[in-house]
Amino acid sequence: MISLNAHSIHKEKTFQEHLVSQLVTGEGYLRRVASTNYDRSLAMDKDLVLRFIKETQPNAWERLAQHYASSADATFFKQLERSLKSRGLLDVLRKGIKIVPGIQFTLCNFRPASELEPRRVAEYRANILSVMDEVEYSEKNGNRLDVVLFVNGLPLVTIEAKNLLTGSTFRNAEQQYRKDRAPAGEPLLTFKRGALVHFAIDEDNASMTTRLQNGKTRFLPFNRGRDGGAGNSDIENEHRIAYLYQAGPWGDATFSRAVLLDVIGQFMHLDVTGDKETMIFPRFQQLDAVRKLMAHAKANGAGNNYLIQHSAGSGKSNTIGWLAHHAINLHDALDAQVFHTAIIVTDRVVLDRQLQGTVAQFEQTSGVVKKIDGTSRQLKDAIARGARIIITTIQKFSTDHLKELSGQAGRTFAVIIDEAHSSQSGKSAQAMSDALTRDEGTSDNIEDVIAEYQRARGPQPNISFFAFTATPRNVTLERFGIKGTDGLPHPFHLYSMRQAIEEGFILDVLQNYMTYKAYYQLEKAIEDDPELSGRQGQRKIARYASLHPTAIGQKVEIIVEHFRRHVMHALDGQAKAMIVTQSREHALRYYFGVKKYIDDQGYADLKALVAFSGELEIDGQKWTEAELNGFAETELPGRFDGFKPDGTPYVESYQILIVAEKYQTGFDQPKLCVMYVDRKLAGLQAVQTLSRLNRTMTGKYITQILDFQNTIEDIQNAFRPYFQGAALESMSDPNQVYDLEGRLHRFGYLDKEEIERFAQTYFKRELDGSDRPRLEGLVRAAVARFEADDDEGRQEEFRQLLKSFNRFYAFIAQVMRLEDTDLEKLATYGEWLSRLLPNRQIPPEIGITEDMLRLHAFRVEQKEDGVASLSPTDGEALPGISEFGAKPYTEDERRELSELVKSFNDRHGTNFSEADMLRFEQVNREILDEDLTEMLRNNPPDVVYSAFSQAFFQGAIRMFQRDNEMRNVVLSDPEIRATATRHFFNRALREARSP
């Protein structure tokens, strides 16, 4: 026989009762009875509202009572109701209400940043948290809500709770809100006026929404995550959603006084975009990240590094904004301020407007946020004046204005990095550290000065770095990760790609993956041509075949017909496609091929655009992107989307975008539903390219990829390190810096005495005009020994080892204190030497023509078709830094170089060779430091080209100051100069974006 208790334990009421009792006994909630305490028309507990007002603000209430006598209560609630309707509950809780004659009432007291003011601490503790269950809220019907949470009698949270043992889940609760909880005419459920957030829960899962819209209501997961994916982990002797109502390893409960009032006071905000209003309530990983980061900083102070690996779709801009505002209000256990200033830095040349707007809208006190969208002098002034939150690009720290800044070592900074890359070992990152730690030197001893420089590269006690990225490299993990029990660095906080996919914030781009293989036979018209033998010849033959009209024609047919049959009608006809090609010439030939096929088939409803940088000549004719598309390059994103900035549609619509490098990364177009890949992809480049597809929008549920170059296994291998959370196989061995140092000296080009003399001059406190020639003379002695060596192989090996030493030293010196000034001397000397070394010679181009080869047969066959999605067990650690290599010229770059030389000579009657033109490569090496590399990596080409071209032109003038013929051509021929600049820009772009 089943007892009553055993039977009732399965009822939903049991779970609901457990939730309420935990809030009462564990979190100090006051339990109230809905039938007697809840006012349906006002959606509040009037008795508790008055109790809070009279107990915490007796003088204000006495003034009200004197002025309005017996109608004081009615007047107060009338004005409160009016304010709730016009301003919304969130604003009322934060700012209170006023009643004539100027009587101010506070409805909620938030935790003060410091406990040095006992009165404010007491006010915060006087807030009354209460809970009601079985709340009959409607005057229209008998509808009830399972649980409602209040602060000072005003509703904050409504909850529908389901019991898994009865066969209902949180999904049933969501449907209940959609179908049976219509907000019209219901004060408790009205957007902004009523409860701030609505939770649907069962014992295992939770979701929430801030706006009920009947069938259109969208719930967001509010789960901790489980084994790297969605859901919640087991909790011993408790339900998996116990984090909502009790403290644990996750910290305070979400519904605790500490968390819930913090969310209302410092997290929630109303986002207004056009005529659309959205109430933002933090998702669990956002709230968890900010609170855990601040708890660690509170306990450990400044001087720590934090890596936050949050996937695309995590709401990073909001998390950064919340983190910055919390950081400047953080006090330690002794009530000392932990951070005086929070600086949000980005590698993007154009500041992320969304990030700026997000941070600024959290600002509750005018002037707290300073956006540095002007000059570096503006940045210097903001730091010097002690601005609380600064938003800037990292490049501004490298200017002379910031070199004048000193006296900051006594202040503490929370540096929040918008997108953590290896740029954090670059010159701008070093300049930032210098600016924030610089004090006047105390020693004139050169060895002491050099030691100061070296120490400045490493961790600084007054700076904490909070580095955000979805795809950390190995250097990022080592630089910012926190060591685990295995001795290896890990992210401090993780919201994985897998969890974002499973929770529906991004799409799984590998869910529909189809590969094709191109087969061709090439008949040699010139048998046994030695120039076509070996791997180099094979690559050229393959490129020739891939550009052949027959090859492109067959692929174009597959692409266009697939798009028409399976994709273009999605999203009510708004679906878009991207064709990713291997070079600018491929992009251009694909464009002509697609356009011809569309015209031949009479597909008037289909149009294509092409994106490539600069001017391109094929078949004797020059082309630019703007000429082919019929509008400026800057208009392309909007034209492809189909809508003007003011929201009105363009007359013509475009469905297909053909790209080569440009728009492969950093391009956000949610309407992209399919990608056609005809280039080799690997590593992080593959992840970033294919992730253009993962953006969500209404009606977009699946994505497709057709790949002509890669296998499913190739792509899965690229995604594995980032799917569930980045990890390292092993730490990079810092002793490699000594291996590199020893290998460099063994070439015989370096002289230790010259390096020492260079350092004695370079590290003087004040350099004068005669120092630069002396420094350059010391370096040119090594250049002369390098040039005297006729072994080009040794020269190239030295060149690459020198570059590797400079980069590895810059990285390892940031991770640890090296305390070896000889390394600092070699690194500084090596940077100068790297810029002055002559360029390597490039073999002449091998041209392949129809006379040399004929395409005998070509066909494209489908190979793999299926799901490439990774499984929960998939994962792969990143290797430590152990290999150091070069980036040789590509086939495309050699061909462009040959055309550039010919054009140069034809126009000016000169006899320049490719070797002469390759002297421009020296200019690239001089200007292409870590900072410019990151600018190229993280910005669209058309955005960063202007900065590159200015640096390149200035570098060319310096390079050719003694070569009148070359200098005159560079100065007097803008067209040739632009062509050369574009060529070496593309070269720099490829190197910067290589995996």
For the cut 70, the answer to whether the pLDDT of residue 27 exceeds it is yes
What pLDDT does 883 receive? 52
- Is the distance from CB of 820 to CB of 766 less than 8 angstroms? no
Residue the block writes with tokens 């009338």: 78
Model confidence pLDDT, tens digit, residues 963-994: 666 666 666 777 777 888 888 888 777 777 65
**Percent with pLDDT over 90 in the chain:** 44
pLDDT category of residue 815 using cuts at 50, 70 and 90? confident
Q: CA-to-CA distance for 90 and 102, rounded, in angstroms?
A: 21
Distance, CA of 465 to chain centre = 15
Mapping DSSP to helix (H, G, I), strand (E, B) and coil, where does residue 623 land? strand
Residues 872 and 421: their CA atoms lie apart, in Å, by 26
Residues 224-243: tens digit of each pLDDT: 999 889 999 999 999 999 99
> Peptide bond before 101: cis, by omega within 30 degrees of 0?
yes
**646-655 mean pLDDT:** 90
Q: Which residue has the higher pLDDT, 426 or 560?
A: 560
| Per-residue three-class SS string for 885-936 | CCCCCCHHHHHHHHHHHHHHHHHHCCCCCHHHHCHHHHHHHHHCCHHHHHHH
CA 485 to mean position of chain CA atoms: 28
Average pLDDT, the chain: 84
As given in the structure block, the two tokens for residue 473 are: 């490299």
Using CA atoms, how far apart are residues 244 and 223, in angstroms rounded to an integer? 10
Judge contact between 674 and 601, C-beta under 8 A.
Answer: no
Residue 844: pLDDT above 70? no
Contact 799, 787 (CB under 8 A): no
On the question of pLDDT at 345 being above 60, the answer is yes
pLDDT of residue 212: 96
**Residue 991 corresponds to which tokens in the numbers above?**
């190197």
Residue 940 has pLDDT above 90, yes or no: no
Using pLDDT thresholds of 50, 70 and 90, give the confidence band for residue 479: confident
Under the banding of pLDDT at 50, 70 and 90, the label for residue 6 is very low
Query: Which residue has better confidence, 349 or 107?
Result: 107
What are the tens digits of pLDDT across the range 579-614? 999 888 999 999 999 999 999 999 999 999 999 888
pLDDT of residue 854: 65
Which are the contacts of 269, defined by CB distance < 8 A and separation ≥ 6? 90, 279, 280, 361, 362
373-391 mean pLDDT: 82
What pLDDT does 426 receive?
57
pLDDT of residue 886: 43
pLDDT of 281-328, one tens digit each?
Answer: 999 999 999 999 999 999 999 999 999 999 988 888 889 989 999 999
Comparison of pLDDT for 516 and 161, the residue scoring more:
161
A 10 A CB-CB count for 880 gives 17
Radius of gyration, CA atoms only, the chain? 32
CB-count burial class (<10 Å; 0-12, 13-18, 19+) for 394: buried
pLDDT of residue 65: 94
CB 832 within 8 A of CB 775: yes
- Stretch 146-166: mean pLDDT: 95
Q: Which residue has the higher pLDDT, 665 or 702?
A: 702
Q: Is the pLDDT of residue 917 over 90?
A: no
Q: What is the pLDDT, as a whole number, of residue 1?
A: 34
